[in-house]
Structure 1
Amino acid sequence: MKLALTFVVLLAILVSVADAVWDDAHATFYGDINGKDTMQGACGYGDLFKEGYGLQTTALSTALFNNGQTCGACFELVCTNSKWCKPNAGSITVTATNFCPPNYSPPVNTRWCNPPNKHFDLTMKMFLSIAEYSGGIVPVKFRRVKCHKTGGVRFEIKGNPYFIMVLVYNVGGAGDVTSVTIRGNNGQWIPMQRNWGQNWDTSVRLVGQRLSFLVHTSDGMSMTFVDVASENWGFGQTFEAKSNFHYSDDFSF
């Protein structure tokens, strides 16, 4: 009876993979079980626990990272076709928060993140959710999915009176931000430039003004967040909007 149930579960996973739009990649892990060495990354996110991402995260290879434009996107992964895959593990969902850089040094079999390879360097916790530690690297099936985040979109303001840089995070829906526009209550909408990852900047002086943001995501959705920061906002502060991009099972990428 137990073997029959196991077969049914595995068959259900395989049918799901076959019926959806999935792609092939490989997965490894970095850091330890508590996330050491995974908290700072190339997307600009800092304390992943404080920011709500926790250990449900991954670094992406060059082919998937897209120069930081994929930061914040969510992926569903299934371990497949390896003796190291854990039986009945199902799938995991992770948010892209870091970059797995290419490695051109020997040996060749460690160049997993080199172009054009599609690769996920998971936190240890997420890797061990689908595969055995001894495997080290396993083949996976993956697909983009919508992100389900708790609370509103968050804006961390950094810089100085002559240069404002805003980290946009905890973004639901598509997750990856494609453009940000800022407005002080005394002026017009000002397009911000991507500085790196999901850090966006402008040299327009906005100190002493209430700040609003217009955010676009890669699925063509946009939201306006009015007066997120009051006129007495300060550098180093984080402000949370009252709303977020919707999560839906009817996703398409």
Structure 2
Amino acid sequence: MGALYSSLLYLILLHSCKVLSYKDQEWRKATATYANDSEGSLVTEGACGYGDLHRASYGKHSAGLSTILFSRGSTCGACYEIRCVDHILWCVMGSPSVVVTVTDFCAPNYGLSVDYGGWCNFPREHFEMSQAAFAEIAKKKADIVPVQYRRVKCERSGGLRFTMSGSSHFYQVLISNVGLDGEVVAVKVKGSRTGWIPMSRNWGQNWHCNFNFQRQPLSFEVTISSGKTLTSYNVAPTNWLFGQTFEGKQFKDE
């Protein structure tokens, strides 16, 4: 009876934590600016390694984070809801919000004060947005605006995407389009002639291991920050090539 009660209590607490981590998470204070871009997205190749942000489905709804929020790339893929507050001149009336995906790192500039250009200096919490996303919450004439932010669930269309790269004895995969938590914390890969092999984070959401998987169909086990694990079997066929992208399953609410 005691064991059953403990199990039920654990499930209730786990469910409560999941709800709090998204819908009911408290708003936190930060600041936001926008990058001068010409195509509606921040950069073509950001610090998370997603490449062309439009092809990665993030596009204009992408953001670079300051050092304390970026956390050495561990938050790549996470989603944040942002709204402009407390500035009657620059905030859009009604303080509408926009949801962005972490795709880049906003580098610090310690030659400037945190109040005059060093927006991303540690320990400041700051978002560098695309012009298009920024315009949804504030007027473009603004230099920097006060905002509130919170982590939210990532809504994705289609499955997880696995982009292959590397060489014969160095295998690397970029994982993108991740739903729910958005951020991947652990990856395993399996060939037809291997067991499950843990991968290490190379940079951003690029994961690697020193192994030759050529001419083997590949399966992946992906774990996100909430602890959920998803296994996609035979995602890449036997004749896969470096540079190709394949689609697996997607994380969903239980």
For residue 40 of structure 2, the aligned residue among 35, 40, 52 is 35
Alpha-carbon RMSD: 1.4
Between the aligned partners of 2:228 and 2:121, the Cα distance in structure 1 is 32
Aligned pairs for 1:177-196 within 5 A: 177-196=184-203
Distance 2:173 2:217 in 1: 14
| TM-score (normalizing by structure 1) | 0.87
Change (3 A) 1:86 1:148: same
Q: CA deviation at 1:39?
A: 2.3
Whether contact under 8 Å (1:31, 1:38) holds in the other structure is no
Which residue pairs with 2:151 in the alignment?
Answer: 144
Shift of 1:32: 2.4
Are positions 1:224 and 2:243 aligned together?
no
Partner of 1:63: helix, strand, or coil? helix
SS at match of 1:126: helix
Name the counterpart of 1:78: 83
Q: What aligned pairs does 1:150-229 form with structure 2 within 5 A after superposition? A: 150-229=157-236
Residue identity in the other structure for 1:79 = C
Q: Which moved more, 1:166-175 or 1:25-34?
A: 25-34
Instruction: Tell me if the contact between 2:63 and 2:102 (Cα under 8 Å) persists in the aligned partners.
Output: yes
Match of 1:91 in 2: 97
Identity of aligned residues (%): 46
AA aligned opposite 1:244: Q
**Unmatched 5+ stretches in structure 2:** 1-23
Runs of 4+ residues over 3 Å off in structure 1: none
Aligned residues: 229
d(CA) in 2 for partners of 1:37 and 1:56? Answer: 9
Quick one: which amino acid aligns to residue 61 of structure 1?
A: S
Q: Are the aligned partners of 2:41 and 2:130 in contact in 1 as well (CA < 8 Å)?
A: no
Q: In structure 1, how many angstroms separate the alpha carbons of the residues matched to 2:105 and 2:253?
A: 25
Question: After superposition, what is the alpha-carbon deviation per residue over 1:130-174, rounded to whole angstroms, capped at 9, x for unaligned?
Answer: 101111110111000010010000000001111111000000010
